[in-house]
Structure 1
Amino acid sequence: MSNDIGAFANRLGKNIKHLRKWAQRQGLEAWRMYDRDVPQYPFAVDIYADHVHLQEYDTGWLMHKSEYEEWLAEVMEAIVFVTGLPSEHIHLKRRQRQKGKEQYEKTGADGTDFVIHEYGRAFWVNLDKYLDTGLFLDHRHTRQKIGAMAAGKRFLNLFAYTGSFSVYAGTGGALSSETVDLSNTYLQWARRNFELNGLDMHVHQLVRADVFQYLQKAAEEGKQFDLIVMDPPSFSNSKKMLDILDVQADQEKLIDGAMRLLSAQGTLFFSNNLRSFTLNSALEQRYRVSNISRKTVPEDFRNDRIHQCWEIRKR
């Protein structure tokens, strides 16, 4: 092993020693073990039960192919050594810079679906099939917050992906929920998550819709919710959508649309992971807004800019 890989392996060893116990105490089977801690090793390493999701960040470095393969083999070897897991349990993904809807693109591999547990809830994940695994680990605290607030409330989940916020709301005693996404694939995944957690599909509904259109229609129908979560992609140009979504440009349209559906004492959680995102000050004039980003990024994430999150209420 080269010196550099020694530094990488040492850091992995240190992190896993502390975090594995922490995760067990918390009842977490999925957590981040390493996040570019050593700059020469630009990876995110996530543990999912007895599997490892290994993502390489696109740094624009150029290495000769054989040199690169050798370097990657050393990385894999270090992870096998530190975690004690077999190499076939390491799932490698190359993170190219995202262009629009590619976050939902298939990788070409099928992989296997398996279940992980988080704070007493269960979720289906797949570490190979898509760029993302089915559960965004950086929103674990936000999910927990929703679960704690949901009792007796009507819940709405917009850009719902695989419905994990809805699972927390439902198991937390929400009266009813609507889970909105444009992708059939993800809504079916959400359905399996609901079934896994024993949610009643009559009161917890899955809605396939473009969020902009949903917001308009729901307002016309006079729908009201007490708790809303909206976590849009930074950018999307899905063919199924009427418009291109750009979270920086469309934030007022999105937030105003959600606030129209919010009951007088309700709360909207608005989040996104566009690093350069800034909330328009006009929104802070219209609503009571508090930035809760720091409180929602979990302690196993070194990158505290992984997402931004606001709590928004009516004035």
Structure 2
Amino acid sequence: MRPTFTLHINKRDTQRMKKGYPLITEKNLTKKLPVITEGAIVDVNDESGNFLGRGYYGKQNKGIGWILTRNQTEKVEVALFKSRLKTAIEHREKLFQDSSTTAFRVFNGEGDGVGGLTIDYYNEFYVFTWYSEGIYSFKEEIYQAFQELRSFKGIYEKKRYASKGEYIEDDDFVMGERGEFPLLVKENNVQFAVYLNDGPMVGVFLDQRDVRKTIKEKYAKGKTVLNTFSYTGAFSVAGALGGAAKTTSVDLAKRSLSKTIEQFSVNDIDYESEDIVVMDVFQYFKFAKKKQLLFDLVILDPPSFARSKKHTFSAAKDYTGLLQEAIAITNKNGVIVASTNCSTFNMEKFHTFIKEACRKENVSYEVVEQFSLPTDFKTIKSFPEGNYLKVVFLKVKS
């Protein structure tokens, strides 16, 4: 039997909790956090002892736990998880029926009612990602609930709850049959090679599906495309299939070369006609300026935080400077796809970075469109930081 603890929320944060805010943090509490075991049940009350919600204790970089129910009679057990999973699966029914897309998110943490857990679908295989020891302690109940709802070829899992949310190396296979990798999946009829058993990332970021489609269908034809922080080259594939004159993919990681070649190859694109550069992106900007290279479409999708031998990059502090570098090598009337997954600032703040970068480079610009998370990455209004993705297409005019 799991222990149950009662936590009291201060007056300042009580109203936010009443409106559906699901994250529990130490700053919310009226008293110092008692010694609690990961996975313990927590009843959250206001200062007067009135019930606000029930959840679990699980320490991760965002906080110390998540509220799972506002119903005082509902227990944290298989039935609760099955209810949340069932609703989430029904929300993605159109995607399950769409033969042109076989990779998407099935369950998006607090957006679907269970903070600390995500589930992704890859062509009849599923990947469960656990973000705290606390939620992982419910794995038997959650896997039981899932098996009662969906058939599958196999299940893999990722554990992201070491210090600072780092990945815990382990055999990622859980049950069913082991996949043969690379596993080919489709996204709007574009193929991607993924590896469910090879570290924390599988080879493609599913939250950028709408952006890749837009690049392919509206912005790539006849254009020179620069894809920075290119990872496995998914944006470059979208550009090439959209009729780009040429794509250039730049990433510091050595394995990005073979991974990008693979993504081009599974889409029958001649990778030798594209440029794949293993280099620090900031060094590449210097190289491009020296060689007077200019691009029609520049894609900026950096990690929220990155460190190389010569550079430390923080999206919250350094995105303006990154945009300035991109503007300097973008053709007049060219388009920059400015993207960030940093959750510590919102779209309004992101637009201030764009405005400041253009001011410093003395150029005018036009926002032609923008994106946040696709519909399968479900979010809730009461937790705005869950809607972390911000993508702005801006045309550099003069």
TM over 0.5, shorter chain: yes
Amino acid in the other structure paired with 2:239: A
17-26 or 218-227, larger mean C-alpha shift: 17-26
What are the superposed Cα offsets for residues 140-178 of structure 1, whole Å, 9 maximum, x if unpaired? 001011101111110110000110000010011001010
The CA deviation at 1:115 is 0.9
Say if 2:185 and 2:191, in contact at 8 Å, map to a contact too.
yes
Say if 1:150 and 1:173, in contact at 8 Å, map to a contact too.
yes
Among 9, 23, 36, the alignment partner of 2:82 is 9
The answer to whether the aligner puts 1:85 opposite 2:149 as a matched pair is no
Among 335, 341, 350, the alignment partner of 1:267 is 335
Distance in 1 of aligned mates of 2:118 and 2:190? 24
The corresponding residue for 1:214 is 284
Distance in 2 of aligned mates of 1:106 and 1:187? 25
The corresponding residue for 1:302 is 378
Distance in 2 of aligned mates of 1:187 and 1:98? 29
The corresponding residue for 1:137 is 206
The corresponding residue for 1:21 is 94
Alignment of 1:178-189 (within 5 A): 178-189=248-259
Alpha carbons of structure 1 residues 247 and 97: separation in structure 2 relative to 1, 3 Å: farther
What are the superposed Cα offsets for residues 120-149 of structure 1, whole Å, 9 maximum, x if unpaired? 111111123121111111100010111011
State the SS of the aligned residue for 2:272. Answer: coil
The CA deviation at 1:187 is 2.3
Say if 2:77 and 2:141, in contact at 8 Å, map to a contact too.
no
Say if 2:78 and 2:144, in contact at 8 Å, map to a contact too.
no
Distance in 1 of aligned mates of 2:162 and 2:333? 40
The corresponding residue for 2:25 is none
What are the superposed Cα offsets for residues 277-307 of structure 1, whole Å, 9 maximum, x if unpaired? 33334225444253955x3421111136131
What are the superposed Cα offsets for residues 170-191 of structure 1, whole Å, 9 maximum, x if unpaired? 0110010100011111221111
User: What TM-score do the two structures reach when normalised by structure 2?
Assistant: 0.69
The corresponding residue for 2:124 is 50
The CA deviation at 1:310 is 1.7
Distance in 2 of aligned mates of 1:257 and 1:97? 34
The CA deviation at 1:224 is 1.1
Q: Aligned residues: percent identity? A: 27
Structure (1 or 2) with the greater helix fraction: 1
Structure 1: gaps (5+ residues): none
Say if 2:285 and 2:325, in contact at 8 Å, map to a contact too.
yes
What are the superposed Cα offsets for residues 257-296 of structure 1, whole Å, 9 maximum, x if unpaired? 1111111111000111111133334225444253955x34
Alpha carbons of structure 1 residues 168 and 108: separation in structure 2 relative to 1, 3 Å: same
Among 220, 225, 230, the alignment partner of 1:160 is 230
Alpha carbons of structure 1 residues 77 and 106: separation in structure 2 relative to 1, 3 Å: closer
Amino acid in the other structure paired with 1:308: K
Distance in 2 of aligned mates of 1:13 and 1:264? 50
Amino acid in the other structure paired with 1:107: E
Find the structure with the greater CA-based Rg: 2
What are the superposed Cα offsets for residues 56-104 of structure 1, whole Å, 9 maximum, x if unpaired? 123x75x8xxxx64x2111112222212125xx211112237859x5xx
71-80 or 14-23, larger mean C-alpha shift: 14-23
Amino acid in the other structure paired with 1:83: R
Alpha carbons of structure 1 residues 3 and 227: separation in structure 2 relative to 1, 3 Å: same
Say if 1:287 and 1:312, in contact at 8 Å, map to a contact too.
no
The CA deviation at 1:231 is 0.4
